[in-house]
Structure 1
Amino acid sequence: MQSKINLAEQVSDEEKLYRYKGILYPTIMCPEDHLKALDNLEAREDDLMLVAYPKCGFNWMVGVLRKIIAQSTGIKTESKAPPLIEFLGADVIKLMEQSPSPRLLGTHMHPDNIPTTFNTKKTKMLVVFRNPKDTLVSFYHFSNNNPVLPSVKSWESFFSQFMSGEVPWGSYFDHALAWEKRMNDPNVMIVTYEGLKQDLSEGIRQISGFYGFPLTEAQVQQVTEDSSFKAMKESAASSHGTMGSVIFRKGEVGDWKNHFTPDQSREMDEAFNKHLAGTRMGEKLDYQRYCQ
């Protein structure tokens, strides 16, 4: 990661993002040859795939899943690199063919762009979503403090970019609507950041059961205790290196109220109603409760 940060210092803001199949991606972390190399990634039925739109709790859930695997199998997987398949590149993908199961993989990519091999192999996918107002705020701060992304000119400009889908990995609403179509898929489990914050123990029970890693109640409580946002943030330097403080910022529900103007709040309400009102995904996100 440090080498990527060093490289970012030599790259202009304009060069830090590029467009692939109509969607913006960070040039340094997932260049075009990485995305093309995903065509050669062979999924396994027992892979653990974690999917989340950026800043919806991906890194938090990586930590949770690693702890669930360790409790269930005794296998510890410690790595400072996030298991995002779009970060890997051809050489690493080749090496992964020798990796023992279960492999923990992840992505921020739109479901239509995830390699089809994960569908044909019926790989189980855990999908994490967060209310769009807090997602936007977290994305703003992440972009502001992440050297591999373009510096944010202002809160107002980032708000506009997010609302139009002109941010890395594309439109939040496009992602949500695409997963809405797969809510009945038995190999897909959709959870929310807010639901996990409210009752992490229950979330861990459901997630471990979904992946076929049954835990005792004592193990559930141990994972819960070690997986609070506070615990993750405290260990972020060892788990994520120099990016730890950037990745784990506040972890709060409702921080949007400290950023949104009344007009911006109304604009997001209208966008949510236009795209997700009356959908099962909209109901799952419980927008009225968390965003109004």
Structure 2
Amino acid sequence: MAEATASFMDDDDFSHVVKGIIYPRFVSEANLKAMATFDIRDDDIVIVSYPKTGTNWTLEIVNKILSAGGRTDASSDDMVGKLEFQYDDESRPQHVMLQECASPRVILTHLTPDTAPPGIAHPQNNVKVIVVMRNPKDTAVSFFHFGEKMRSRFATKQGPSWDEYFMQNFLSGNHPFGCYFDHVLSWWERRDDPHFLFLKYEDMKQDLPEAVKTVAAFLQVKLDDASIDTIAHACTFSNMKSTLDNSRYEDRTLMARKGIVGDWKTMFTDEQSRLLDFKCKAKLEGTGLHFNFE
């Protein structure tokens, strides 16, 4: 086992490797195997993301659109929990509990197409899949700080320094849920499939009402301009942070930090920035996938 992988393996929150990818201890191999037979309903809405790229923000937007359209009376707190997870305080994994949820279900996952249920990797009929993405520099910084907050809250052992995390884990791809670039590109290959909508964190920050309008149209929920503006206001970072801070789920209260584009400048050295720029060029050039970094 590589030293970089071991640094996460020694942490209680990141405890095992399946087919070369590190998973948190609450994503068991049994849960991953169950994905092959997970039943997707025709009205399911799936939010796919790499960790710390805007999952909860997108969930808030989707939940409020469905609520405004009269399609759900559930709160976003009722929809949290990744498909592949089993939390310590729950006797059953999320994929089992989701079978009992009323439609339309909003399903969250950090899996790639290779490990996600076939009905998500290859959606049919009216299944909607929203893939949210964030530039890799801000993603790395957000994940690092989230790990620090989790360790502090739950009194686990000290984690890697920023430099160790960046070099040994994020840049190398020895990271929870796999290499950032492999993850986003595996979903990006489906960009021409009308079952998919791709959202970028940076675009949402630049024009949130337009993002809300786009998501509503994708979900086929008719909303007037006033409703779109109301949802956008409710989903600004400051308002969403209040929602998350008051969640009944402890880990969700740690999700929101700054919610800005370009925070990577507070952490990255010039050399680290250069190395990740080189990685971006090597991985993304020719794919049509581009990110804004400020």
Please give the range of the TM-score, normalised by the shorter of the 2 chains: 0.7 to 0.9
2:117 alignment partner AA: P
Counterpart-to-counterpart distance in 2, 1:74 and 1:276: 38
Is residue 71–residue 104 contact of structure 2 (8 Å, CA) maintained in 1?
no
Residue 189, structure 1, aligned to residue 186, structure 2: no
Which residue of the other structure, out of 160, 165, 169, is the alignment partner of 1:153? 160
Check 1:277–1:151 CA distance in 2 against 1; reply closer, same or farther (3 A cut). farther
Is residue 37–residue 90 contact of structure 1 (8 Å, CA) maintained in 2?
no
Paired residues for 1:59-78 under 5 Å: 59-73=56-70, 75-78=72-75
- In structure 1, stretches of 5+ residues that fail to align are 1-10
Residue 43, structure 1, aligned to residue 40, structure 2: yes
More helix by share: 1
Paired residues for 1:182-221 under 5 Å: 182-221=190-229
Which residue of the other structure, out of 20, 23, 48, is the alignment partner of 2:21? 23
Counterpart of 2:124 in structure 1 is: 121
Is residue 50–residue 127 contact of structure 1 (8 Å, CA) maintained in 2?
yes
Counterpart-to-counterpart distance in 2, 1:98 and 1:200: 33
Q: SS state of the match for residue 156, structure 1?
A: helix
Residue 83, structure 1, aligned to residue 78, structure 2: no
Counterpart of 2:138 in structure 1 is: 134
Paired residues for 1:73-112 under 5 Å: 73=70, 75-78=72-75, 79=77, 82-88=80-86, 92-112=94-114
Superposition RMSD on alpha carbons, in Å?
2.2
Figure out how many residues of one structure are paired with residues of the other and give that number. 275
Is residue 66–residue 72 contact of structure 2 (8 Å, CA) maintained in 1?
yes
| Percentage identity across paired residues of the two chains | 34
Counterpart-to-counterpart distance in 2, 1:259 and 1:58: 22
Instruction: Name which of structure 1's ranges 183-192 and 96-105 shifts more when overlaid on structure 2.
Output: 96-105
Counterpart of 2:243 in structure 1 is: 235
Counterpart-to-counterpart distance in 2, 1:126 and 1:15: 27
Which residue of the other structure, out of 228, 233, 240, is the alignment partner of 1:225? 233
Counterpart-to-counterpart distance in 2, 1:23 and 1:272: 20
Cα drift, residue 231 of structure 1: 0.3
Is residue 36–residue 116 contact of structure 2 (8 Å, CA) maintained in 1?
no
1:142 alignment partner AA: F
Check 1:130–1:194 CA distance in 2 against 1; reply closer, same or farther (3 A cut). same
Counterpart-to-counterpart distance in 1, 2:13 and 2:203: 37
Cα drift, residue 169 of structure 1: 0.4
Q: SS state of the match for residue 190, structure 1?
A: strand
- TM-score by length of structure 1 reads 0.87
Q: What's the CA shift string for 1:18-67, capped at 9, x where partnerless?
A: 1112211100x222222222233100121000011111000111111111
Cα drift, residue 151 of structure 1: 4.2
Q: SS state of the match for residue 111, structure 1?
A: coil
- TM-score by length of structure 2 reads 0.86
Counterpart-to-counterpart distance in 2, 1:85 and 1:61: 16
Cα drift, residue 87 of structure 1: 1.2
Residue 168, structure 1, aligned to residue 171, structure 2: no
Is residue 35–residue 86 contact of structure 1 (8 Å, CA) maintained in 2?
yes
Counterpart of 1:7 in structure 2 is: none
Residue 178, structure 1, aligned to residue 186, structure 2: yes
Q: SS state of the match for residue 85, structure 1?
A: coil
Counterpart-to-counterpart distance in 2, 1:270 and 1:208: 36
Instruction: Name which of structure 1's ranges 83-92 and 171-180 shifts more when overlaid on structure 2.
Output: 83-92
Counterpart-to-counterpart distance in 2, 1:90 and 1:186: 33
Check 1:90–1:239 CA distance in 2 against 1; reply closer, same or farther (3 A cut). closer
Is residue 132–residue 201 contact of structure 2 (8 Å, CA) maintained in 1?
yes
Cα drift, residue 254 of structure 1: 0.3
